[in-house]
Structure 1
Amino acid sequence: MAAETAKTVGADWWRGAVIYQIYPRSFQDTTGDGIGDIKGITERLEHVASLGVDAIWLSPFFTSPMADMGYDVSDYCNVDPMFGTLADFDAMMTEAHRLGLKVIIDQVISHTSDRHPWFIESRASRTNPKADWYVWADPKPDGTAPTNWLSIFGGPGWEWDGVRKQYYMHNFLISQPDLNFHNPDVQDALLDTVRFWLDRGVDGFRLDTVNYYFHDRQLRNNPPMVYDTDGAGMETDTNPYSMQNHLYDKTQPENIGFLKRLRALLDTYDDRATVGEVGDGPRSLNTLALYTTGNDKLHMCYTFDLLGPAFSASYIRKVMQTVLDTVVNGWVCWAFSNHDVIRHVTRFIESPEEQDRVAKLSITLIASLRGSICLYQGEELGLTEAELSFEDLRDPYGIRFWPAFKGRDGCRTPMVWDHAKPHAGFTEGPKTWLPVPADHAARAVDAQEGVADSVLSHYRDALSFRKAHPSMIDGDMTFIETNQDLLAFLREKGGEKLLFVYNLTREAQNFTLPKRLGDVLPVSLPGFVSKLEGGVVKLDALEVFCARV
């Protein structure tokens, strides 16, 4: 199955690519310590390639104290011993490339661990060579923090340091100090770490919190957030971070200059790509457009707009239309699930009986949208969010906000491979870092392999169907007006024009084909059997229709 799984060869391989996210500590353990490792990833790449994806994205595996599961880096150019060695990484990358898979790694450069040598030196004095490498500021006359900025992980976004007698900024944990991107030496050092992995042969980078790099030089306070009258998006009952309009602690205009520097570096290598994570509240899609338009910044970005509970035709159309209207020649990457959010099957279903149906409809839908796709490990099995007790939690965010919010551990439980083995084949050791739910084990890869109507088989069929139709990969997208809660659009490229009509409701719906479309020829879509009768599409609940126009 080697190189046949790769979508294209060339500089634009990322445009329309299907990217499979691997959370290393939960993919496959080969040492018996109950934590996944890089050798385990290598062992399981055949499964990933069999899905028909184009690339893998690895969540952080760098040297780290693991206060935030590796998103607190203490050495950007090495592998944490928990996961293996650089030699293990090189072997994994060789195997991925043999299978036709590109390799994208997480690059967490908005902040470091407080154990990074840079921060240890920076906090030692106000005059050392790295004194200005992090965001330091004097207290107000009354001793309080310099600004009202908040941490996403709860509490103020500033922490007092008794050695320097100053506050330092942290958007996340206290142990994750923010780097000062206004210092060009910081930018140079970070670009050197990117170059290290480019020289090692990685194909791209997923840029964590890409709009958090710069802060306001004047240290102005954020104003309160003003929501729509219906309170849409308001989550103040869980985290007060959402009560602020984050005008000054992130998404600063200087970020554009750094992204251009980063792109210029990547352009000196062949066929490399970036995908940025944009978390900017109501402005996220506009920020995405700004960061990807112009072919001189990021190749593509994703936002959290499809990572919430909304699964309706009107909402998806609103999000997609905003992108189509604002992104000129940039590119977007879509996902329904990742390591930071509740698994989408849990978010979208209204009853347990819908689990398989919603899982299949979701991959068919996202595969037909204009953009690239990120799939998260285990979603090809139709996994739901794991229910964990407080004692099982490892996520500092979940521990901080329990019980109002249960954290991110429920989507990070180990991958399930063999339903009959202890821990579903994830490890041969006595325990796992997070529990393996029994209902997950029942859906293990081996239990679904070769089963024609399984979620796993449907994922392969859906991605194969997408790959067979160029219009679905990077063709134009045009919406069609509907009177019901239906999602209807055209995908077009060259001589191919496909019509998709989705019924995301729990009731049967009819869709009358617009006369301007002329004759349409129904196309057999894997897993779905909607009907066309006299110019009317008959759609059952959670059904989709496809036709060639």
Structure 2
Amino acid sequence: MNAMTSTPASTLLDVDKDWWRGAVIYQVYPRSFQDSTGDGVGDLRGITQRLPHIASLGVDAVWISPFFTSPMKDFGYDVSNYCDVDPMFGTLADFDALVSRAHELGVRVMIDLVLSHTSDQHPWFVESRASTDNAKSDWYVWSEPNPDGTPPNNWLSIFGGSAWQWDARREQYFLHNFLSSQPDLNFHNMDVQDALLDVARFWLERGVDGFRLDTINFYVHDKQLRSNPPLEKHLRNSTIAPSVNPYNHQNHKYDKNQPENLAFLRRLRAVMEPFNAAAVGEVGDAQFGLELLGEYTAGDDLMQMCYAFEFLANDRPTASLVRDVLTRLDETAPDGWATWAFSNHDVKRHVTRWDMGDASLRLMTTLMMCMRGSACIYQGEELGLGEADVAFEDLQDPYGIEFWPEFKGRDGCRTPMVWSKSNDTGGFSDSKPWLPVSSNHLPLSVAQQEDDDTALLHHYRRAIKLRADHPVFAKGDMTNLTATGDVLSFERSFDGENVLCIFNMSNDENNATLPAGEWTSIAKDVGGIEPASATFILDPWTAAILRKVS
């Protein structure tokens, strides 16, 4: 795994071991960001070309979804070579150039590591499935059938059907929590863990600053292969899988969330430490997401950050919902660190999911930048892009094809970024894109919003700058969290600065009251008001963000 390496980030960016704490991370979905070759698919050179836009937002890091060699059955989340770039996206040299340019612009680079499973075309699996006694025969999760030939237990795949696939070569079943072409690695085998740690080292030595860890709670399975118990109907929700998917009918006690996972995460953190690298884990669990977040980020030897799905759910956040989530996080994960996201490549964009108007979008953005934790924004979110309506004949996502029309899959949030209104591809490509560009997105392009100082794009920049200008938001404590009707409020404090944040999360005017003391607004450029008295009125979807003067 020797490789040409780029200059480590520590020589290019200010060394701050806690750079991740409170960081704002921008997610790029490579297929849909910028096509530099004219084949209709985004690539690494395209990302490098557009890095100035990312840097202009004021973010601390960019997270790049998978670009590794892959048959693309799940669009890169089925890896066949962890240590190379798929030709669709470019070359390792293109990646090195991307890292170098990002560091020049002061942006750290995080890449998406998919460690729980590989493609069935990965050489490891090709060897593993060849026989029951080869060197890698135990690198994946294999099992004998039940006496009647059925799978060993009742585990289900997130993508539908059984999580077990029969393999005629070995006359055994193998586990796949996702597509049948994505066999799960066996983390009970230490050789597997060692190989994956070598993958992490490979990219750290190329200069990456950290990782987004896909399905971090899926790594380890129950060694006894016990069946999951049923989940009571009133506890089911569609945060992780759509309601039409029977995956929601189980309490996933044994196919994920295993305590042995912590030992591997400690090993991974030890590999990351010399590089001053950080990781954010994706906790995919509808019942215990916050609890797992707390487990995986507690102390100094596990992951720095995790995100759960509380704000990726369908219910639009209300003042009481936000209070309850933050309160539960504080109770279940007092030593943990959350990363908040409203949209990503797996869920319907929050503009559509929550039926957001311009005012509510702006307030929610400001709220995200004021909450304790780190923040992740998804490409196009800064433009206010809604979910694209993709016709069935244009669908690419196997998830959507499987459950259409009740669930339309993830293509609607993965359509290309719109850079200009100059043509029907929005400046993304000179040819037909892999997914169609929504006509509703074209008027929201970067070029058009750049020329309008009142546009949402500039609000994102100002909200992120507010966070950067006041370390209290990135690193401070959060206290006095309350929800009174539709009004959410909390205080942030750090290094002698005390800030009061009040948000009217409704379409109606609401009253608010200041605590004793003198307060002054620090957020007028993001719509924050300066109250004229201790008791005042907040207009709909308006905030008061005030620093205590005395």
Specify the alignment match of 1:284 in structure 2: 289
Structure 2 matches for 1:183-198, cutoff 5 A?
Answer: 183-198=189-204
Change in 2 beyond 3 A, CA 1:409/1:232: closer
Residue 480 of structure 1: CA displacement?
3.9
Specify the alignment match of 2:277 in structure 1: 272
Specify the alignment match of 2:164 in structure 1: 158
Residue 245 of structure 1: CA displacement?
0.1
Residue 329 of structure 1: CA displacement?
2.9
Specify the alignment match of 1:245 in structure 2: 251
How many Å separate the matches in 1 of 2:213 and 2:418? 28
- SS of the residue corresponding to residue 346 of structure 1 reads helix
Residue type at the aligned position of 1:270: F
The correspondence for 2:260, drawn from 231, 254, 258, is 254
Change in 2 beyond 3 A, CA 1:235/1:47: closer
Any conservation in 2 of the 1:39–1:84 contact (CA below 8 Å)? yes
1:218 aligns with 2:217: no
Change in 2 beyond 3 A, CA 1:82/1:504: same
Structure 2 matches for 1:28-47, cutoff 5 A?
Answer: 28-47=34-53
How many Å separate the matches in 1 of 2:118 and 2:246? 24
Specify the alignment match of 1:170 in structure 2: 176
The correspondence for 1:360, drawn from 359, 362, 368, is 362
Query: What are the Cα deviations for residues 452-474 of structure 1, in whole angstroms up to 9, with x where unaligned?
Result: 11001111111111111111111
Query: What are the Cα deviations for residues 148-198 of structure 1, in whole angstroms up to 9, with x where unaligned?
Result: 000000000000001100000000000000000000010011111111111
How many Å separate the matches in 1 of 2:25 and 2:177? 28
How many Å separate the matches in 2 of 1:20 and 1:233? 22
Residue 528 of structure 1: CA displacement?
1.6
Query: What are the Cα deviations for residues 479-511 of structure 1, in whole angstroms up to 9, with x where unaligned?
Result: 343432211000110111111111111111111
Residue 326 of structure 1: CA displacement?
2.7
Specify the alignment match of 1:23 in structure 2: 29
Change in 2 beyond 3 A, CA 1:319/1:244: same
> Which stretch shifts more, 185-194 or 520-529?
520-529
Any conservation in 2 of the 1:349–1:358 contact (CA below 8 Å)? no
Structure 2 matches for 1:50-69, cutoff 5 A?
Answer: 50-69=56-75
Any conservation in 2 of the 1:7–1:17 contact (CA below 8 Å)? no
Structure 2 matches for 1:514-525, cutoff 5 A?
Answer: 514=515, 517-525=516-524
Residue type at the aligned position of 1:296: D
Any conservation in 1 of the 2:293–2:306 contact (CA below 8 Å)? yes
How many Å separate the matches in 2 of 1:84 and 1:529? 44
1:427 aligns with 2:441: no
Any conservation in 1 of the 2:32–2:416 contact (CA below 8 Å)? yes
The correspondence for 2:308, drawn from 303, 316, 341, is 303
- SS of the residue corresponding to residue 311 of structure 2 reads coil
Residue type at the aligned position of 1:378: G
- SS of the residue corresponding to residue 259 of structure 2 reads coil
Residue 325 of structure 1: CA displacement?
2.3
Change in 2 beyond 3 A, CA 1:100/1:75: same
The correspondence for 2:121, drawn from 100, 115, 124, is 115
* Shift >6 Å, 4+ stretches: 229-236
How many Å separate the matches in 1 of 2:445 and 2:235? 45
Change in 2 beyond 3 A, CA 1:253/1:46: same
1:95 aligns with 2:94: no
- SS of the residue corresponding to residue 120 of structure 1 reads helix
Any conservation in 2 of the 1:471–1:496 contact (CA below 8 Å)? yes
Specify the alignment match of 2:376 in structure 1: 374
Residue type at the aligned position of 2:405: P
Any conservation in 1 of the 2:77–2:114 contact (CA below 8 Å)? yes
Query: What are the Cα deviations for residues 8-27 of structure 1, in whole angstroms up to 9, with x where unaligned?
Result: 53211111111100000000
The correspondence for 2:399, drawn from 388, 392, 397, is 397
Change in 2 beyond 3 A, CA 1:157/1:482: closer
How many Å separate the matches in 2 of 1:233 and 1:31? 37
How many Å separate the matches in 2 of 1:187 and 1:235? 28
Residue type at the aligned position of 1:125: S
Specify the alignment match of 1:526 in structure 2: 525
1:136 aligns with 2:138: no
1:182 aligns with 2:188: yes
Residue 280 of structure 1: CA displacement?
1.7
How many Å separate the matches in 2 of 1:61 and 1:523? 40
How many Å separate the matches in 2 of 1:98 and 1:231? 44
Residue type at the aligned position of 2:381: E
Query: What are the Cα deviations for residues 43-93 of structure 1, in whole angstroms up to 9, with x where unaligned?
Result: 000000000001000000000000000000000000000000000000111
How many Å separate the matches in 2 of 1:81 and 1:435? 22
- SS of the residue corresponding to residue 462 of structure 1 reads helix
The correspondence for 2:20, drawn from 14, 23, 45, is 14
How many Å separate the matches in 1 of 2:70 and 2:238? 37
Any conservation in 2 of the 1:537–1:545 contact (CA below 8 Å)? no
Give the TM-score normalised by structure 2. 0.95
How many Å separate the matches in 1 of 2:337 and 2:93? 34
Give the TM-score normalised by structure 1. 0.95
Residue type at the aligned position of 1:19: I
Any conservation in 1 of the 2:239–2:314 contact (CA below 8 Å)? no
Change in 2 beyond 3 A, CA 1:480/1:513: farther
Query: What are the Cα deviations for residues 490-543 of structure 1, in whole angstroms up to 9, with x where unaligned?
Result: 0110111111111111111111224xx433223343232545243113111111
Specify the alignment match of 1:483 in structure 2: 484
Any conservation in 2 of the 1:345–1:358 contact (CA below 8 Å)? no
How many Å separate the matches in 1 of 2:288 and 2:165? 28
How many Å separate the matches in 2 of 1:163 and 1:260? 36
Any conservation in 2 of the 1:307–1:335 contact (CA below 8 Å)? yes
Any conservation in 1 of the 2:41–2:433 contact (CA below 8 Å)? yes
Query: What are the Cα deviations for residues 195-227 of structure 1, in whole angstroms up to 9, with x where unaligned?
Result: 111111111011000000011011111001125
Residue type at the aligned position of 2:442: A
Change in 2 beyond 3 A, CA 1:417/1:232: closer
How many Å separate the matches in 2 of 1:15 and 1:230? 33
How many Å separate the matches in 2 of 1:108 and 1:484? 42
Specify every segment of 5 or more residues in structure 2 that has no aligned partner in the other structure, as ranges. 1-8
Change in 2 beyond 3 A, CA 1:451/1:281: same
How many Å separate the matches in 1 of 2:535 and 2:340? 30
**Backbone CA RMSD of aligned residues:** 1.8
- Number of corresponding residues: 537
Query: What are the Cα deviations for residues 358-405 of structure 1, in whole angstroms up to 9, with x where unaligned?
Result: 321221110001011111000010110101111111111111111111
Residue 294 of structure 1: CA displacement?
1.3
How many Å separate the matches in 2 of 1:196 and 1:534? 58
Change in 2 beyond 3 A, CA 1:524/1:273: closer
Change in 2 beyond 3 A, CA 1:218/1:296: same
Any conservation in 2 of the 1:140–1:146 contact (CA below 8 Å)? yes
Sequence identity (%): 56
Change in 2 beyond 3 A, CA 1:8/1:497: farther
Change in 2 beyond 3 A, CA 1:542/1:81: same
Residue type at the aligned position of 2:534: G
Residue 284 of structure 1: CA displacement?
0.6
Residue 439 of structure 1: CA displacement?
1.5
Residue type at the aligned position of 2:539: D
